[in-house]
Amino acid sequence: MSNPILNDTQAKMKKAIDHTLHEFSTIHTGKANPTMVESVMVEAYGSMMRLKECAAVSTPDARTIAIQPWDKGLTQAIIKGIQTANLGFNPTSDSGVIRIPLPEMSRERRQEFVKVAHRLAEEGRVHVRNLRRDAIEGVKKVKLPEDEAKRVEKDIQTATDKAIAEINQHLAHKEKELTTV
């Protein structure tokens, strides 16, 4: 028999893992990736928009990000948005296309990114643990028979351990990717 609290908790843990993986994808490894700049906020048409909502972002090669604004008038606003996002990039405009050459990463910069990855992984693990705590409190409120409550709590702990192990596995992969020159 499957418990709705357990199912709900597992779904939320999956979302927490997916969010952590998305956060990992924003850490650049020296290879160009559109996700590095897609969430940059740009002032367009009197409001703030994400870059991916007002331009096409691509990677023509491993060291360059190209941004093609859908409206040429947004070129300066996009450049300003990237600079104020403080990502360490220096965008240049070339006939309507904004190019961002990625600098070569120093050892110190790589170690900095490893620390950021560890912080993001810890945030993900804390979120998973909070979901476990909330689920166990939910089981206690439902007042299940004692043996069933213990079984559900054990299943919740198993799901928690699995989610944390998955985050740790992705962290190890990201750390290897960041430290490989």
The arithmetic mean of pLDDT across residues 103-120, rounded, is 84
Compute the distance between CA of residue 90 and CA of residue 168 in angstroms, rounded to an integer.
Answer: 33
Compute the distance between CA of residue 148 and CA of residue 144 in angstroms, rounded to an integer.
Answer: 6
**Which of the four pLDDT bands, split at 50, 70 and 90, describes residue 1?**
very low
- Classified as helix, coil or strand, 93 is strand
CB 26 within 8 A of CB 17: no
Flag whether pLDDT at 95 surpasses 50.
yes
- 69 forms beta bridges with 55
**Which of the four pLDDT bands, split at 50, 70 and 90, describes residue 20?**
very high
What DSSP element (H or E) covers 55?
strand 55-61
Using the 8-state DSSP alphabet, how is residue 39 labeled? T
Considering only CA atoms, give the Rg of the chain.
Answer: 21
Look at residue 126 in the predicted model and tell me its pLDDT.
96
Given the structure tokens 């990736």, which residue do they identify? 33
pTM confidence score: 0.69
Domains and CATH numbers, the chain: 4-26+106-179 (1.10.132.20), 34-101 (3.30.1360.40)
Mean pLDDT of the chain: 88
**pLDDT tens readout for residues 70-93:** 888 888 999 998 888 877 788 998
Compute the distance between CA of residue 50 and CA of residue 41 in angstroms, rounded to an integer.
Answer: 5
CB 58 within 8 A of CB 99: no
**pLDDT tens readout for residues 143-159:** 889 999 999 999 999 99
